[in-house]
């Protein structure tokens, strides 16, 4: 492994923060026992190798936790978006029902208004006819 390979493996700023967090865990003695047991087994009982492997495994564990949280957050956001779309659809259906009721009421009102609007024509016709009959008999 050349020096170029080492620089290609340098941690990102986010990974660096995770490495610091894990190193703080190791220094404080508060470590995840399951991960430490795997590191100890893979290090063949060598305490120095076990600590190095623990740091590597624990950072991987934290990265996976972050991915899981991001995935869960993405799922939650997707579910909220679906709920918003369902609510929007319910609102649109409610508006459509209301519009249809208003259209029917307006059509019904126009039907009655039209028949009421025809009444003056009937009255005028009746007056003209009545006037013609009176004129006929009076002459």
- SS3 of 49-93: the string is HHHHHHHHHHHHHHHHHHHHHHHHHHHHHHHHHHHHHHHHHHHHH
Q: What are the φ/ψ torsions at residue 9 (nearest 5 degrees)?
A: -100, 5
Q: Return the residue matching tokens 């779309």.
A: 85
pLDDT digit string, tens, across residues 22-52: 999 999 988 899 998 999 999 998 988 999 9
Per-residue pLDDT at 1 exceeds 60: no
User: Rounded CA gap, 9 and 6, in Å?
Assistant: 5
pTM of the model: 0.51
pLDDT recorded at residue 89 = 92
Q: Quick one: what percent of the chain has pLDDT higher than 90? A: 27
pLDDT recorded at residue 72 = 85
Task: Kindly state the average pLDDT of the residues 10-31.
Answer: 89
pLDDT digit string, tens, across residues 116-133: 555 566 667 778 887 888
Decide which of 137 and 94 is more confident: 94
pLDDT recorded at residue 118 = 55
Listed by start position, the domains of the chain span 3-102
């Amino acid at each position: 492994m050349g020096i170029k390979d080492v620089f290609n493996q340098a941690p990102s700023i986010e990974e660096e923060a995770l490495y610091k967090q894990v190193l703080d865990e190791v220094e404080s003695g508060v470590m995840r026992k399951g991960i430490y047991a795997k590191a100890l087994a893979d290090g063949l009982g060598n305490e120095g190798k076990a600590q190095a492997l623990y740091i590597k495994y624990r950072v991987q564990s934290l990265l996976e936790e972050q991915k899981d949280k991001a995935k869960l957050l993405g799922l939650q956001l997707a579910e909220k978006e679906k709920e918003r779309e369902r609510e929007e659809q319910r609102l649109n259906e409610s508006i459509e029902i209301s519009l249809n009721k208003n259209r029917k009421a307006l059509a019904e009102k126009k039907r009655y208004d039209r028949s009421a609007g025809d009444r003056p024509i009937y009255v005028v016709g009746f007056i003209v006819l009545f006037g013609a009959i009176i004129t006929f008999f009076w002459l």
